[in-house]
Amino acid sequence: MSSYSDFDLALSKLHPHLYGKYVFLSARDGLTAGLEPFAQIKEEEGLTVIVPLEQAKAAGVSEGKKIYRRITLECDVSLEETGLTFTVASQLASQSIPCNVLSGLHHDHLMVPAERATEALSLLQQLSQQVKGWVQY
């Protein structure tokens, strides 16, 4: 029997990938037709959408908004997996990098401040490499 878990395997296969720039918008920002959000969340206070920065600029709703980059963890992890989100967020928090996690059916997506995205990507790659050191496939 092996001494590593599915969790260890998932960490070893994070394969974080950096994507474009995004902003968070709400109905108060005057959401316009034609925006194609990456994600949307319906809360008690209203709808939040995460929109590519270029779309928000074109719609005139990007002014003064904080810019984020999306890091997608390319590992395909079960929604039942315990600890992956905590471990990844803790790795970033150890360097004071804020992170908003969105979980889809197939991947986790991390929204990090644009100015810290390259550093965040590097930390996640290091985490995955460290785990690969003790996990045998």
Task: Kindly report, residue by residue over 11-55, the tens digit of the pLDDT.
Answer: 877 899 999 999 999 877 667 677 899 999 998 988 899 999 999
Predicted pLDDT of residue 1: 32
Q: Residue 3 pLDDT > 70, yes or no? A: no
25 SS3 class:
strand
* CATH for the stretch 6-132: 3.30.2130.10
Backbone angles phi, psi at 126, to 5 degrees: -65, -45
Alpha-helix runs per DSSP H in 22-106: 53-58, 84-93
3-state DSSP helix/strand/coil % of the chain, to nearest 5 = 35, 30, 40
Per the model's pLDDT, the better-predicted residue between 22 and 3 turns out to be 22
CA torsion sign for 133, 129, 74, 97 is positive
For the record, the structure tokens of 23 come out as: 């902003």
Q: What is the mean pLDDT of residues 74-90?
A: 77
**DSSP code, position 105:** S
* pTM for the full predicted model: 0.85
